[in-house]
Amino acid sequence: MRTATNIPMTSTTQPAVPRAIIHSTKGHSGGPITRLMSPSDLRADLIKPFVFLDLFEFEGTDAPPLQTGWHPHSGIATVTVVLDGAVRYAETTGAIGVLPAGGVEWMRAGGGVWHTGSVEPGVVRGFQLWVALPPELENAASESHYVMPEQVPVHGPARVILGRYEGLAGAIVAPPMTYLSVSLKGGERWTFEPPPGHDVAWVALMNGALRTPARISGGELAIFEQAETPIHFIAEGETRFVLGSAPQHPHALFLGNYSVHTSREALERGEAEIRRIGRALRAEGKQSYALRLFG
């Protein structure tokens, strides 16, 4: 079954062979941000098209001011899920605003974009995911989509961030993948059944713990073996987590400092474009640019 219940997992509800966890980590922390996964930490073929995942927990004064945080991307999309608090953002596309708890940011960098962010006062928690784009999108025009909490489809304990789940489609148009934000109460059981062709899957916990039946604790990322079989969970205490699944990205990954592309040539095009945008920002000053955007 796919909805959450408070019935403990038993031998009659587990799959005959549980889907194994092949890698788990609590990542590397740098202040309020913990990098849970990156190609430099584990074999890229375990996770692509999912490239990087950060867990963030700010106290409201930990983040730099919005004006000083400008940085570029190309070839990828970033997906920010805010669980608590609110995040302020600005982009060279002209998009500006505040994303509240329950909101979602999709910023498809494509051929190149610069953006910045900061947090509103109070505790701010969430996840930021980077996903690799296919060749037809990696150098395309950048675009962003900011989804308010009430616009995120919900089925049982799962909120549909990207893709489709139980007949519901996320509000964001993205390459083939499913990305869910899930909240379970202690003792609740939930099963994720991947869409056809989705053989990559992982979960990352903000708090609480899960048994799959192997145990995953708060602040941990777990990557499952490559398969298309269901994954069964039971929560230990109040548990919040994100889950990603997708067909394995068939392309190589070429990484720059802020970019991920499918070829050296595409990477060079993307980095050339973000340098061009950067020169324009430096010419007027990043701080004055941010102040102009926000009036």
pLDDT digits (tens, 9 = 90+) for 231-283: 999 999 999 999 999 999 999 999 998 899 999 999 999 999 999 998 888 87
Token code pair at residue 42: 């584990």
Q: Is residue 50 part of a domain?
A: yes
d(CA 284, CA 263): 32
> Model pTM greater than 0.95?
no
Question: What's phi and psi for 280, nearest 5 deg?
Answer: -65, -40
Q: Tokens 């994303």 sit at which residue? A: 99
Q: Name residue 121's beta-bridge partners.
A: none
Residue 99 covered by a domain: yes
Q: 57: which strand partners? A: 125
Average pLDDT over residues 29-41: 87
Residue 13 within a domain: no
> Is a pLDDT exceeding 60 seen at residue 184?
yes
Do 270 and 75 meet the contact criterion of CB atoms below 8 Å apart? yes
Domain that holds residue 54: 21-294
Domain count of the chain? 1
In this structure, of 2-6, 8-12, 262-266, 271-275, the range with the lowest mean pLDDT score is 8-12
Distance CA 236, CA 11 (A): 18
**pLDDT value at 224 more than 50:** yes
- Residue 288's pLDDT is what? 53
- Residue 177 resides in a domain: yes
Of 254, 277, 276, 273, which Cα lies nearest the Cα of 265? Answer: 254
Average pLDDT over residues 109-116: 92
Per-residue pLDDT tens over the stretch 52-73: 999 999 886 666 666 667 889 9
At 286, the pLDDT band (50, 70, 90 cuts) reads low
For residues 131 and 175, the answer to whether their CB atoms sit within 8 Å is yes
- The pLDDT score that the predictor gives to residue 42 is 67
C-alpha–C-alpha distance, residues 281 and 295, integer Å: 17
pLDDT of residue 20: 94
Is position 54 within any domain? Answer: yes
User: What mean pLDDT do residues 141-151 have?
Assistant: 95
185 vs 9: which has the higher pLDDT: 185
- In a domain? residue 16: no
pLDDT at 40 over 50: yes
83-108 per-position pLDDT tens digit: 999 998 988 888 899 999 999 999 99
69: domain CATH number?
2.60.120.10
Does residue 14 lie in a domain region?
Answer: no
- Of 117-121, 176-180, 193-197, 241-245, the range with the lowest mean pLDDT is 117-121
75 lies in some domain: yes
Asked if residues 223 and 202 have their Cβ atoms less than 8 Å apart, the reply is yes
Token look-up 């608590």 returns: 84
The 3-class secondary structure across 108-152, one letter per residue, is: ECCCCEEEEEEECCCCEEEEEEEEECCHHHHCCCCEEEEECHHHC
Mean pLDDT over the full length of the chain: 88
- 15: confidence class by pLDDT, cuts 50, 70, 90: very low
Cα angle 70, 73, 77 (rounded to 5 degrees) comes to 120
